[in-house]
Structures are given as C-alpha cells and as structure tokens.
Amino acid sequence: MSISRSILTGLWLALTAYAGPPLTTVQDVLYKADGTRFNGTLTINWTSFQAADSSAVMTQSTTVKVVDGNLRVQLVPSTTATPPGTYSVTYNSDGRVQFRETWAVPSSPRPLRLRDIRVASNSNVTSAAPDTVTSVQESDVVGLIADLGSRPLKGTGFAAGRVAMVNGSGMLDAVIGTSTDCVHVDGTSGPCGDTSTTPSFVDSDSPTGIVDGANNTFTLTSPPLPASSLAVYRNGLLQKITQDYTLSGRSVVFVTSAIPQPGDTLLASYRLAGGGTSTSTQQFYPSPQVLCSGSGSTSTATSLASLGSCSIPGGLLVAGDRVELRFDVEHQGTAGGWSFEAGWGGTVALHRDVSASETRATARADASIVSDGAGLSTQSWGSSLTFTAGALKAVDAWASGLTIDIRGSVASAVDSLTLRNYTVVRIP
C-alpha cells in the first residue's frame, strides 16, 4: 500500500512540474487617442524570479502582436513571486517605439484588463531605464565599409558647380571648359556641334503631287533629317505633324480633314543629312510663317473678354526670332466708350481706352525673343484716337509654348466690338 502511495505521489509531482507555473490572462482592447484601434506589437521584458508554485522563471522577453486593438497574453503572476517583481512593456507601432509602461500581474482566475495591472509612473516600483545613445562604428555594420569603398571618390580635379566626369582612376573630377562648351563622352570639352561641316537647308521646296482635293500624298525633293526639322505650309499656314500630316521618308501624307484643295499652295522647309548639329546654327523653321490669322469674334462684354487668340506651340520659337502681331478692332454703337488690349502670355503688351465716337482702331505689336523673355514694342491709333507707341520687357517663358490674346470690352452692353483681320507672323 505504501509503495502505491509513493508511486501516485511521484506521478502527481511529475505532472505538476510538466504543467508549469499557473498563468494569469491579460485581455483588453487598445485604442489610440483619435478613437482608432491600436495596431502593433508589445515587447514584454522581465528579470528572473520564483513563481508562487516555486517554478523558476528565467530572465527573458516575449513579443505579442496587437491586431485591430485586440490584446491577449498569459503571464506568470509577478506580485506573488519571490521576490515580487514587475514586467516592463514597450509599445511599438508604425515602425517606432510609442511608449513604455510597467505591469504588476497578480494571480487571477479571470482575465484582467490593463487598468488592473498597470503601475502608476509615480509609484515606488522602479521603471525601466531610459534608452541610452551609443556610437556605432562603421566596422560594426556588416558590409558598410565595402559599400562605402565602392563609391567613386573626389579626385584632385574635383570642383563644385561644374559637370563631373570619372577619371582614369575611377575618381570624380570636374570638366574644364567655358560655359558655352559642350561635354564629350570622354570627359573633354569643346565647341558644340561639328565645325567641319555647315548646316544644309532646303527652303521653299514645292512638294510634287496633284492638288485636286483627293490626292493626299506629296513628295519632297529630299528626305528631311532630322524629321522634326520639316515645316510644311499650306497657303502660308504652318501645318502640324500627326494632326495635319505624317512623314515617311520623302512622302508627306495629309490626313483626310487636311487634304489640300484645288488652288492651295504647298511649300516646305527642312534640313538635310550632313548638316551641323550646333544648337546655334539649327534652323527648324528658316522662313517667315503665319502662325495664326483670322477675322476674330464679336463681343458685347462690359469687362475685358477674348476676341481672338493665337497659341504658339512649344519648341517653335528660338532666341533671335521676332513675332509680329497686327489687328484692327471695330466699334459698333455710340452708347459709351470702349477698350482693347493685347496680351503676350501673362504680360499686357498694350492697352487703350477709346471714346464712344471712335469707330475703329488699329494696333501693331512686335516681340523680340531673347533667352529670358521678349522685348515688346507697340503702336496703336484710330481715326480720332491719338497715335501711341510703347516698349517694355516681358519675362514670360516661351520655350514650352505661349498664347497671344486680343481682348476688348464696351462700357455699355448695347454696343459691341469686333476683331478684324488679326495676323501673327514669326520671322526667324
């Protein structure tokens, strides 16, 4: 009988040891201050202690995920341990440490909430030590020295504010030259373009083909090179590639809506193969061309409203070009005075206020294209309106395109203004 009791006692002790120390469940729903649920991880740290059932709990840590605010973790009670202890908890979210706090976990048969175990910061319980900042040597980071060594270093010829080149030793030097030079692929510099040849152009070429309103294909004398240098004019108006026509070698193929009609005149200008590439000698459109023309519109607006406009596409103008604008404005009615003006981009090139008795005014504007804008000169007069001339500088950027707008207004809506015969011409 005593042998049986000894065996049962040994089995009970073995099962007790295998089951481990008793645990208290901590379960709660965590929120952020804005009312959204907390998502992240809790890192729980502790030092060695002896549980209430004499189980030895070693110094360690565990990480618990919190998804959509739901926290659930089981821990060995620390308040009944020997010696009584606490857990140090670090909250991590959005890739960084949010805050830290201390837990004192008692024995409990039911789940506890954080308010039941959280230790106030002003209690006698020692909180976790604050983080310390330590220096990290380059050699402590695996692969950092090798990565740094693979970067090109500054050479003896390196200088700030200049184009960089990789010298024969794999180091960075600065390219030497004047501000107008071009950089070659070997790192040297020199005048831009091929100075051994001169640009070759074809101006006022008449494409061959029947102009009967049905034929849409016309042939140039030579193939343009580059293709973007081709400028096709129909009755003096510049046609737009892809919108009005396509180019294939020497063949200009018009789209259906732009097929030349009987009586139309076609001219083309372009560059040829073998021409120089210097940007100072490129002439994509070497001849004068009408950019826009028309009769405009009529308005009874009592505030300045557009009567006609011309949108100059990007890449058309170059420094050294001139753009001429000419237009007439006709006034109908005698109820009140009227005004008109011409705008160059966002700049008012000219503005005139006219009396009710004036029936017609004419204006001229000339824009001299420079790298940082345009110099504008204007003239305007009428049958009784005095002649006035002016000049100013416009800083509107033109490289990506620019709009010329003619605007007018009447003092009384019973009167009207009509824009007559406006023309915009580019002169290279």
Domain locations in the chain as residue ranges: 17-119, 201-271, 289-427
pLDDT at 99 (0 to 100): 86
User: What is the mean pLDDT of the segment spanning 277-294?
Assistant: 63
Residues near 33 by Cβ (< 8 Å), separated by ≥ 6? none
Predicted confidence band of residue 20 (pLDDT cuts 50, 70, 90): confident
Its pTM stands at 0.39
Between 49 and 274, where is the model more confident?
Answer: 49
List the structure tokens of 65: 């995920």
- CATH code given to domain 289-427: 2.60.120
The answer to whether domain 17-119 and domain 201-271 are alike in fold is yes
Burial class, 69, CB count within 10 angstroms (exposed 0-12 / middle 13-18 / buried 19+): middle
Strand duo 266-271 + 189-190: pairing? unpaired
User: What is the mean pLDDT of the segment spanning 249-257?
Assistant: 93
Is 363 in contact with 335 (CB distance < 8 Å)? no
Which of 2.40.160, 2.60.40, 2.120.10, 3.40.630 is the CATH number of 17-119? 2.60.40
List the structure tokens of 394: 């416009």
Predicted confidence band of residue 92 (pLDDT cuts 50, 70, 90): very high
Predicted confidence band of residue 260 (pLDDT cuts 50, 70, 90): very high
pLDDT at 153 (0 to 100): 82
Cα separation, 404 vs 370, in Å, equals 17
E runs forming strands in 160-250: 164-166, 172-174, 182-183, 189-190, 201-205, 217-219, 231-234, 237-238, 245-248
Reduce the DSSP state of residue 356 to 3 states and report it: coil
Is the per-residue pLDDT at 124 higher than 50? no
Please state, in angstroms and as integers, the Cα–Cα distance from residue 41 to each residue in 23, 37, 38, 96, 115, following that order. Answer: 21, 13, 9, 10, 19
Question: H helices of 84-132, where?
Answer: 114-117
Is the per-residue pLDDT at 389 higher than 50? yes
Is the per-residue pLDDT at 291 higher than 90? no
Predicted confidence band of residue 152 (pLDDT cuts 50, 70, 90): confident
Between 184 and 4, where is the model more confident?
Answer: 184
pLDDT at 127 (0 to 100): 43
| CATH architecture entry for 201-271 | Sandwich (2.60)
* Cα 406 from chain centroid (whole Å): 32
Predicted confidence band of residue 364 (pLDDT cuts 50, 70, 90): very high
Number of residues that this document lists for the chain: 428
pLDDT at 199 (0 to 100): 54
- Say which DSSP state 146 is in: H
pLDDT at 194 (0 to 100): 53
Is the per-residue pLDDT at 287 higher than 60? yes
pLDDT at 261 (0 to 100): 94
Lowest model confidence (mean pLDDT) among 11-20, 45-54, 327-336, 388-397? 11-20
Between 332 and 206, where is the model more confident?
Answer: 332
Predicted confidence band of residue 126 (pLDDT cuts 50, 70, 90): very low
